[in-house]
Amino acid sequence: MAKAGTDGPRPARSLTGVHVITELRRLLRLEGFRRLFAVRLVSQAGDGMFQVGLATLFFFSPESAGTATGVAAAFAVLLLPFTVVGPWAGVLLDRWRRRQVLLVGNLVRVAITLVLSALLLTQGVGPAVYVLALVNLSINRFLLSALSAGLPRVVDGPLLLTANSLTPTLGAGAAFVGGGLGLVLGLVLEPGRAKDAAVLLGAALLFAAASGLATRMAAGLLGPEHPADGQALRRELRDLARGLVDGARHLLARRTPARALGVMAVHRFLYGVVFIAAILMSRNLLAGPGQEGLAVFGLVLAVLAIGSAVAVVLTPVLGQRTGPHRWIVLCLLLAAISQGLLVVTSALPAVLAGAGLLGLAAQGAKIAIDTIVQRDTADAYRGRAFALYDVLYNAAFVGAAALAALALPDAGYSRAVFAGLGVAYVVVAVAYRAGARRDAAVATVSGPLPSPPSPAAR
């Protein structure tokens, strides 16, 4: 029998259980992480309550469009605003104190949500409701960028991978819980405007709580290291294009974050087509007699969430063993397998199994990509990196909506489309692996490329 400390790898159960719990305990000992994490959980719970109403309104109410074109158009309307304003967010996150962004941003969402509630009670759904909902969603993406950009200020070293595993996944879990509370509230209350307004009021309370929790952090805790005064900020906003070009050059010089953002955008594009297909299939194909499409889609989302939860356990263990680049490749191949299941059949069990695999693949890859971007991007550029991340993230989904409108039938199911998506995942995996090997070879021979100087050093 081998002696302790000289035998081979420990059993996978020990690694996936004890390792993650140990890392989580280490993270929770960090006061800054605990406070930032609390803001994320409460804020995203409010997001969940807010978005439940939007999902019903845009995709599953009797008067909403149930065609591929209609669903794709709704997604384009939802996502295009932040795709446009995202670059401004990058400049602000590298110039404003990120803690203040979390504080003020959530307060603005409180005000918007209260106005939405009043409009629903007095006028019903109209153009102003749609505009304010889009503004609220845009602020949400801005806040998520601030949370990601600030995380390396409270966590560093190997724990950053675990933090990236836990915070987005548990944040999504908090959004799921908030959405569930919104659904329960909707079932308890009588149908009508008062019910919709009550759900929004619940979301506003959670946004207010998140803003209050942000005050527990020191103003400069989340960076940036060199916040700008008002005059410098106005000058930076006027010169937005230069700032974005500087950020892009920084990412390209570092190589690895630029490549990670590229694979994220492609992954998001392919995932978006599947997501829109799932909405159409839930509404027009899988819902049985007397069954609502929203209930079927909720089941699909629940399985997606389970896959994401599995990713939070596996990624810190397997990702550290394989390295983030190989883990991304493995996740892309797993996503290809999920599409293969849908090529075989459109039955609900296959759809659910594919959703679980895709949830694991999407979240696992995202954790590794977030880690690469955070680790390999200087703090002075990190806000712009994550703003560019979100712009690409949303623009890719808008592109997916356009493809879905052209390629998917109204029932949502097409063997040819799912086969093409599976092949595309394999091609991306092979290309990313080849690029990562080239980067490693260049770094071995010549060392990493120097980063462009930060604006403060100019």
| Token pair belonging to 300 | 């699909």
Query: Could you read off the pLDDT of 226-252 as tens digits, one per residue?
Result: 776 666 666 766 666 676 677 778 888
Amino acid at 284: N
Query: How do the domains of the chain map onto residue ranges?
Result: 29-219+250-444
Ranked by mean pLDDT, which of 286-290, 339-343, 388-392 comes out on top? Answer: 339-343
Q: What is the predicted pLDDT for the residue at 56? A: 65
Q: What is the predicted pLDDT for the residue at 139? A: 86
Average pLDDT over the chain reads 81
Query: Helix, strand or coil for residue 182?
Result: helix
Q: How far apart are CA 158 and CA 23, in angstroms?
A: 9
> Is the per-residue pLDDT at 19 higher than 50?
yes
Q: What is the predicted pLDDT for the residue at 452? A: 38
Query: Could you read off the pLDDT of 205-227 as tens digits, one per residue?
Result: 999 999 999 999 998 899 887 77
| Token pair belonging to 229 | 């005064």
Q: What average pLDDT does the segment 98-116 reach?
A: 94
Q: How far apart are CA 136 and CA 130, in angstroms?
A: 10
Helix (H) or strand (E) holding 90: helix 68-93
Q: What is the predicted pLDDT for the residue at 47? A: 92
Quickly count: other Cβ atoms within 10 Å of residue 444's Cβ.
8
What is Dmax (Cα atoms) for the chain? 77
Q: What is the predicted pLDDT for the residue at 442? A: 59
> Is the per-residue pLDDT at 2 higher than 60?
no
Of the chain, the percentage scoring pLDDT greater than 70 comes to 80
Alpha-helical segments (H) within 282-378: 293-314, 320-322, 324-344, 348-376
> Is the per-residue pLDDT at 39 higher than 90?
yes
Query: Could you read off the pLDDT of 306-344 as tens digits, one per residue?
Result: 998 899 888 888 888 888 899 999 999 999 999 999 999
> Is the per-residue pLDDT at 358 higher than 70?
yes
Q: How far apart are CA 94 and CA 82, in angstroms?
A: 18
> Is the per-residue pLDDT at 298 higher than 60?
yes
Q: What is the predicted pLDDT for the residue at 103? A: 95
> Is the per-residue pLDDT at 24 higher than 90?
no
> Is the per-residue pLDDT at 9 higher than 90?
no
Higher-pLDDT residue of 21 and 17 is: 21
Ranked by mean pLDDT, which of 96-100, 132-136, 269-273 comes out on top? Answer: 269-273
Q: How far apart are CA 275 and CA 335, in angstroms?
A: 13
The secondary structure of 293-313, three-state, reads HHHHHHHHHHHHHHHHHHHHH
Q: What is the predicted pLDDT for the residue at 277? A: 93
Q: Which CATH superfamily is domain 29-219+250-444 in?
A: MFS general substrate transporter like domains (1.20.1250.20)
> Is the per-residue pLDDT at 17 higher than 70?
no
Q: What is the predicted pLDDT for the residue at 453? A: 38
> Is the per-residue pLDDT at 36 higher than 90?
yes
Confidence of residue 430 (pLDDT cuts 50, 70, 90): very high
Query: Could you read off the pLDDT of 436-453 as tens digits, one per residue?
Result: 888 776 554 444 434 433
Q: How far apart are CA 153 and CA 3, in angstroms?
A: 40
pTM of the model: 0.69
Q: What is the predicted pLDDT for the residue at 284? A: 86
> Is the per-residue pLDDT at 367 higher than 80?
yes
Higher-pLDDT residue of 364 and 290 is: 364
Q: What is the predicted pLDDT for the residue at 195? A: 76
Residues in the chain: 458
Q: How far apart are CA 430 and CA 269, in angstroms?
A: 17
Q: How far apart are CA 216 and CA 145, in angstroms?
A: 20
Query: Could you read off the pLDDT of 68-103 as tens digits, one per residue?
Result: 777 777 777 667 666 766 666 666 777 788 999 999
Q: What is the predicted pLDDT for the residue at 233? A: 63
